[in-house]
Amino acid sequence: MRASTADLRNANLLAVYKYIYEHKEATKTEISYALRLSLPTVTQDLNELLSSSRILSAQKAEASVGRPAMLYQFNSNHHVSFGVEVLQKKVYVATVDLYGKIIKEAKLERKFENTPEYFQEIGDFINGFIDPQGYPDGDILGVTFAVQGIVSEDNEHMTFGTLLNTTDFTRENFAKHFRHKVSLVHDTEAAAIAEDWYVHGSDLNAIYLSLNHNLGSARIIGGKVVHTDNLSSGTIEHMTLYPRGKVCYCGKKGCVDRYVSAEALMEAAGMTVPEFFEAKKAGDKKVLKIWNQYLNDLALVIENARMVIDGCVILGGLLDEYITDDDIDKLKKCIRSISCFPQVEPVIIHSHYGSKATLIGSAITEISVYLQRIGLDL
């Protein structure tokens, strides 16, 4: 069956829109040449996209000969999503555009409480952040809350939330204070979503380790963050590293979290993270000994995880900002020394989004759905 004129028209329009999205900006001639469409067809499509504000006409590109050509840019603010990171003692919120970039952000110092007053205060804070920015309701894709706990498969409630000391609050506790769509996501899963987004289009297999005050982990398989029925995207942090070891906040002994989280490092050294790495830089022998033991423990965690998932390891969170290339080399050397497959070179990389990964990833959960719906998913 032959496609109708309307179908061809829509296909050409989408192709032009997608080309500009992928390249961020382009001239009419570049689009025409790349898509093998006539200039009149491209002109018609560009005019329609401009009239709906889906693209913008930009400054003219420089030309060595003749009249400069007009550039057309993707309007990444045509729709936005809001990411929220809920921690024990503070809340972060960010406006994120269709490229996954933060436009604006804010922070509220507030201890988490599972009370109506807390949810009302957070609702007021975030609405007070959103409303002055002036986005029409139709351009707001949603508000996604990343929480320190495992979220149910239907994303409606927490099933494990020791860090926030609760498991009985639901998405509705937040949602009742907003006129926008509200969602819940596990914080480390959100961070992994951001890292996977950065390499979108690949069949990435990876383990994401969030080296924050408490350790978090997530699995990326075939370019998708895994979300299971009961344990979100995995809980490497609660695998046993040392039987009968230090007591974890979950109640078990010897969990990975008690040895490779930032909190564990601070407890071992008796100093803050910045103080620790200043002392490491100065060559403090006690600190260097603690750091070498930390790297040995982290290497053991990575090697154990690699036996389950054959892929790269992405290090994110607070401590990743301090881990040097030399530290990565030491990690790899240690892994090779304990691995039964030393010929398989470990791949360990730094997070692209760093400490902002959770904020960005929570917003991306709605952005990716929107882009897929309009045909711009890559």
What are the sequence ranges of the domains in the chain? 5-74, 80-192+357-373, 202-354
Q: Which residue has the higher pLDDT, 308 or 63?
A: 308
Query: What predicted TM-score, i.e. pTM, was given to this entire model?
Result: 0.89
CATH domain 80-192+357-373 topology = Nucleotidyltransferase; domain 5 (3.30.420)
DSSP bridge pairs for 150: 160
Across the range 90-101, mean pLDDT stands at 97
Span of 13-17, 62-66, 248-252 with lowest mean pLDDT: 62-66
Q: Hey, which CATH number is domain 5-74, 3.30.365.10, 3.40.1030.10, 1.10.10.10, 3.30.1490.20?
A: 1.10.10.10
Q: Which residue has the higher pLDDT, 276 or 164?
A: 276
CA distances from 62 to 25, 66, 69 (A): 14, 10, 8
Quote the Cα angle for 161-265-107, to 5°: 55
Residue 116 scores a pLDDT above 80: yes
Is residue 313 very low, low, confident or very high in pLDDT (cuts 50, 70, 90)?
very high
Phi and psi angles of residue 88, each rounded to the nearest 5 degrees, phi first: -60, -35
CA distances from 317 to 228, 264, 325, 363 (A): 23, 14, 16, 18
Residue 260 scores a pLDDT above 90: yes
Separation CA 18–CA 378 (nearest Å): 9
The class (CATH top level) of 202-354 is alpha beta
Separation CA 301–CA 314 (nearest Å): 13
Across the range 33-37, mean pLDDT stands at 96
CATH topology agreement for domains 5-74 and 202-354: no
